[in-house]
Amino acid sequence: MSRLCFDYGHGGEDPGATYNGRRESDDVLSLGKEVAEEVRRHGVTVDETRTSDVTVSLSDRSNFENGNAYDYFISFHRNAYEPEKAKGVETYTYLNPGEKSRELAESIQASLVILGFVDRGVKEANYHVLRETKSPAVLIEIGFIDNSEDNILFGEKRNEIIKVIAKAILYELGIDYVEASTETEEGNGEMLYRVMAGSYGIRKNAENQVQKLIEAGFDATIMIFNK
């Protein structure tokens, strides 16, 4: 089973970048936890360096990651420069990154740019959480907190941001993204119930069954569950 370590920057006594009452530590905690839930929905284990507004030192973050074997370490941040002077997203790897971290960084960066953020590129940096972690690591700067346009994008496209980051991670893990579905939907004011048509241990068999259902006129898709 795939396993990830999510790191939400700052927290507690360290709010990170701030602007007009907005705190980086709050933004990345809230957003990152939703990305974690979206990834977990696909059977991936996600451990988090913090899950509330608490202070976590850089060494505690890297020590936490070093305590387990992870497929990736992903640190969530928001950028800052001078008010309204810079904008966009950028994704960091450690110096001379390995192929896995570089590819994940490029996938996440491209996904966020599609949503309308200015592309500041994939960069390398000697940040502690990139240098002192064992697994392939990336650090995401999701827009500038001191830029009004980026904050609008961060708010209005929040669900899309969560989705595209989760998709990029799952892609690098070799896991197909599956759209979320609800147990009930409204249709002409009536309750609808979903029906499952079998479970399969081999994906090809599941794909064959989906094709048969589609040919028979039924709406069908594959959903992934762990035993």
First to last CA, the chain: 12
pTM above 0.85, yes or no: no
Residue 203 has a pLDDT of: 78
- Mean predicted confidence (pLDDT) in 63-89: 98
pLDDT at 183 over 50: no
Residue intervals of the chain classified under CATH 3.40.630.40 are: 3-173
Residue 48: burial class (beta carbons within 10 Å; 0-12, 13-18, 19+): middle
> Per-residue pLDDT tens for 36-46?
999 999 999 99
Write the CB contacts of 84 (distance below 8 Å, at least 6 apart in sequence): 146, 147, 148
Mean pLDDT across 183-206 = 60
Name the CATH superfamily housing domain 3-173. Zn-dependent exopeptidases (3.40.630.40)
For residue 186, pLDDT over 50 is answered with: no
Give the SS3 label for residue 55. Answer: coil
DSSP summary character for residue 180: -
Q: Which residue in the block uniquely carries the two structure tokens 């991670």?
A: 169
78-101 pLDDT, tens digit per residue, is: 999 999 999 999 999 999 999 999
